[in-house]
Structure 1
Amino acid sequence: MPLRRYSLGMPERRIAVVTDSPASVPDDVAAEHGIVVVPLQVIVGATSYDEGVDEGASPEMVAQALREFTPVSTSRPSPTRMAEVYASLAEQGYAEVVAVHLSSKMSGTYDAAEVAARTSPIPVHPVDSCQVGPGTGYAALAAAAVIEAGGSAEEAAEAARARGVACESLFYVDTLEYLRRGGRVGAAAALLGGALAVKPLLKVTDGRIDSLEKVRTAGRALARLEELAVQAAGEGQVEVTVAHLASPDRAETLAERLSDRLDLAEPARIAEVGAVLGAHVGPGMVAVCVAPALT
């Protein structure tokens, strides 16, 4: 299973940051900060693809498969694969690894990192970001910032944990059916939402997906998503990612409105979620991740 490889910075840099493909770290950002991205797998029908590596593992392909009721599932990297990543970094001369992954309550990726760390030739500091998607990415970037400033691996891991907890991840889905299929919400909740024709708003709380509010129309849901993001940002400076699956117009509109209302450290990022996250949320999803700006 190939992984995306980026330059890990200057030779004197001895600590590597590893994350997973659902963290949604853009390729150019990962390259700039020397972050190694390990792919998860998406299985469409009987074919398995490495996210971010295989051309077939595109958000468009997954959205179409879901619309056509083709079976779609996902899989974590194995402990053996994670061990290979750590061994490769050791061979490159790195002394430690900070491994920042999506919530252990939604994926076995963090557990795989922990298992692999036990036999790694160099110390590995696994971090459960308690997030998913861009929230995990922001946590990984916090670790990279500490390392770039000369901090220790322990300090980088703590910074990643703290930023993951501080992130607010909010999202809207057209239907709960895809989350139900992946076991992320209960069948009763999905059935009730469908019967009432409501549009659910959800959030990540303590590493789990929780129901937040239900509204009657997509327009009201997106307006409410905007207000919740503004509340989450408060008065401080923040970074924001607006993510979507097969819904670019909604995402662009929301990003524009948030840009007008928030004190942003960087321009709002708009991104289509990868195949793995897309498999669980379905077409039409729009999400906002609000992260405290790095100081």
Structure 2
Amino acid sequence: MSVVVVTDSSCCLDPKMAERYDIRIVPLHVISDGRDYREGIDELPEDLSGATTSGPSPAELLEVYTRAFDDSDGDGVVAVHLSRLLSGTWEAAKNAADSFGDRVRLIDSQNTAMGLGFAALEAARAAESGADLDDVYSRAVEVAASGRTLLVVDRLDHLRRGGRIGTATALLGTALAMKPVLHLVDGKLVLREKTRTMTKAMAKLVDGVVAEAGRTPLLAVHHRGAPERAQLLVEQLAERIPDAAELLTCEIDGVLGAHVGPGAIGIVVARR
């Protein structure tokens, strides 16, 4: 067999792509109207405006790690998860991985969405090519470290309620009627710059990604119920970064959708 890669459902990986590279995805949870839904497994309500979210339990992670380790025939597991500053998944993962020693390697991607997904994907491609545990782990670390995520949301109150941004930033977008461009820094979502309109904010997203891209980058455009905005960004990125190794479009669902709200748009860039 070969090293098996595990991640969580915040990665936004297309299920067919995950299946193609045998990436195991642990579901995060959405709690809506008193019911617990597993992202990627259960059908979620369309309206998640009042939903809360939670990470997988240590028992859930242990079950996935155990199966992955067995399927690797002892070659080992690389588990790359969303930022520990955004979720309790990391602590649960440490508890679950303790019994495996160094045969289950954990990585805090300090990211989410395809900032996490690209790290898992490139690690799985390395594993498929025959790389050993050390090399697969190093590949995931390198791609995760290169990931940059930029985001604009229609309303900041979803992020504020979930504790993902501070009250001051939330007020900036509501009381002052601005569209702040946010980004992840060291695993935490913070203000990048201020804009007045969604059009200007989207232009800043593209400019920011172009500045970070380097050669043959990995790109993903994310949206929450805003396919027209996403298509516009895809067209602009294709024109300005024609040598991109990948340019994916991924709709935000479930856990991330509950936090960013309808109309959110974002871009992830990483380096292969």
Corresponding position of 1:43? 31
The partner residue of 1:161 within 118, 123, 141 is 141
Taking structure 1 as the reference length, the TM-score comes to 0.87
Check conservation: 1:240, 1:264, Cα contact below 8 A.
Answer: no
Give the distance between the partners of 2:92 and 2:52, measured in 1 at CA.
18
- Residue 228 of structure 1 corresponds to 208
- The structure-2 alpha-carbon separation of the partners of 1:157 and 1:43, relative to structure 1 and needing over 3 Å to count, comes to same
Cα 1:148–1:187 shift into 2, 3 Å? same
Contact 1:197 1:216 in 2 (8 A): yes
Paired with 1:98 and 1:16, the residues of 2 have a C-alpha distance of 6
1:196 to 172, 176, 193: 176
Is 2:236 the counterpart of 1:257?
A: yes
| 1:85 equivalent in alignment to 2:64 | yes
Equivalent residue, structure 1, for 2:97: 117
CA 1:93–1:208: 2 relative to 1, 3 Å: closer
Aligned residue in 1 for 2:154: 174
Tell me how far 1:122 sits from its aligned partner: 8.2
How do 1:1-295 and structure 2 match up within 5 A? 13-56=1-44, 61=46, 64-66=47-49, 71-92=50-71, 94-95=73-74, 96-120=76-100, 123-234=103-214, 236-293=215-272
Q: Which runs of 5+ in 2 are unaligned?
A: none
Code of the residue aligned with 1:25 in structure 2: it is: L
Aligned-pair identity in percent equals 40
Q: CA offsets per residue over residues 70-119 of structure 1, 9 Å max, x none?
A: x2111100111111112223444531111010111111112211111112
The alpha carbon displacement at 1:265 in A equals 4.0
- How many pairs does the alignment contain? 271
Contact 1:83/1:119 (CA < 8 Å) preserved in 2? no
Q: Distance between the aligned counterparts of 2:246 and 2:235, measured in 1? A: 10
Give 1:242 deviation, angstroms: 0.3
Partners of 1:122 and 1:214 in 2: CA distance:
44
What secondary structure, in the 3-state scheme, does the structure 1 residue paired with 2:41 have? coil
Provide the TM-score with structure 2 as the length reference.
0.95
Cα RMSD, aligned residues only: 1.6
Point out where structure 1 has 5 or more consecutive residues left out of the alignment: 1-12
Query: Which stretch has the larger CA shift, 80-89 or 94-103?
Result: 80-89
Report the CA distance shift for 1:93/1:150 in structure 2 as closer, same or farther (over 3 A).
closer
